[in-house]
Structure 1
Amino acid sequence: MSCKKCCSSSQTKWILAGSVSMTLVLAISMILGLTLYQRTRPGCENDAVCRPDADMLDYLQNIGQISHRDGLLVTWYHAANSKKEMEAALNSDVMVLEADVTVEGFNTANETEVPIMAHPPAIYSDNTLKEWLEAVLASSQKGIKLDFKSLKAVGPSLDLLRQLTEAGRIRRPVWINADILKGPNVPISTEVNATQFLALVQEKYPKATISPGFTTLYVHQLPNSTYTQAMVETMEELVRALPQKVTFPMRAVMTRAAWPHFSWLLSQSERYSLTLWQGASDPVSVEDLLFIRDNSAPHQIYYDLFEPVLSQFKQLA
């Protein structure tokens, strides 16, 4: 009888010990699994902002790159076209990659339909758009801005973007840029056809932000005109009925003088913003930038500027 009680007590202890051990194993497994998930899951988790047509500021705030919705906080890398420049951009701490797209051998007997990463006059590259996207998507969370230098590159590029998006690969904002209207001081028409460009975006890749700009020319120390109200109204009319967010790239050195026109433009829709860009030799005034900053909301203007102007501006803004 005593043996039975002892054996029964011993069995109970073993059962309890086994239960405790199993519970510990399950708990440890859950913790390890959660830790592994935390390490491997995508940085952007909110589906509302993890998409090509998301607001860039919302996306960058969601992944912890910026603290609040202010275009001045966003940083840019220009012409990340060649594999060397692309790798440098990917290894940097910039938030948005800007790269140029044309077709291989553009306007030559060797022209193909393959989109490549090159800025005119270059028509060849060691980097195709497909290779560029694969590298960027695999190794970063950076936003994407693609500048189209020829209409021929737009269709094949948008097809590729759509395929990657449908496969769940593109979970970040994508900006589609082209200069579609002739702007200040430009003597000849070199712009991408506006009607065809916008139609291709609507047909092939509507879930993106559109960045329609003007061709411009600015020569320091020579008389230069700026954007007119008629130019701005023509641009607004082109995009007014579109469903996408629209950011208008405007040459920073010319923007202050035309500010009444751009203030009017921004007032036309909550979908609109400006991206101020600087030519390599443009003498952009910090005073002009501060004026624009003081007369707009922080989320309405992005500042794609060179040093030392950018740092000087940030110190005073």
Structure 2
Amino acid sequence: MEEKWLVGVDIGGTTIKMAFINQNGEIIDKWEIPSNVNEKGKHIPINIAKSINQTLDKLGQEKQNLIGIGIGAPGPINLATGSVDVAINLGWENFPLKNLLEIETSLPVIVDNDANVAALGEMWKGAGGGSKNILCVTLGTGVGGGIIANGEIVHGVNGSGGEIGHITSIMEGGLHCNCGKTGCIETIASATGIVRLMIEELSSNNVPSKLRDFYEEYQTLSSELVFDMANEGDELANKVIRKVTLYLGLALAHLANGLNPEKIIIGGGVSKAGDALLVPLKEQFTRFAFPRVSQGVELTIATLGNDAGVMGGAWLVKKGLLNKRENIPLHF
């Protein structure tokens, strides 16, 4: 191997995605393993280490050719120690991820919040296109986010910067959120929030809707189905999408008015709706944003998909280890 590789790791509640990535941001190999949450997730570091070794063997490479490991992990991160304060879906509490993985791999490790890391990936090789002032919002089961200013993640005083999903959008009478507050944008614009709003509409009136028949027969809905029916002109589905984009557009406008970003990138499963989401969202964003802010920003859909986390992890290594050590200017 002439060029040393970066290792990107994206830890989720179900799977752990990993990749070897060269210093130009090209994926050499990527794979995933199950997240073993038995015994409060204590086996995860050694499973990651074993999987890295196995993949090196498969490729006929040596560990000495790896520069380091960058990890996106769920939950608040203690940036000083690389430990995860709490990750309920993994069973972690004050979990020393960096220290354990460095022991298992003998490689330097950098840990950050998974949403922040995904934002870095999009900045480097995704929809960010090298822009250094970005809002990245992930609309999935919940709502995550990362804020990048001048090429740096905004962590804040205790690592809680970028909690876009917990902007209060409904001040009184909002749904209880997992964070302990009520009315968070996560309860509205997430995949689960969209389904909840749709069920509320179906339950509160008798307006004809294909979704009503589907829900009564199968007792299940998805955000994807809501967008599909909205595209077909379903009145209730469009009403829900208008409500979602109203609140999300308002929240993003408030953030943009303070940060004046170049790009707002929308990712996560809900973003697969494409223009059905983006067009009404842009309308609401423009309605609420300061005109000069609105003129300077581009709203766009994320492009890296499931690779955003591993690509961002690789960027952590590139920025935090390789370039610092060798005093090389960063290139996007």
TM-score (norm 1): 0.30
Q: Pick the structure with greater CA Rg.
A: 1
Structure with the higher fraction of residues in strand conformation = 2
Q: Which has the higher contact order (CA 8 A, sep 6+)?
A: 2
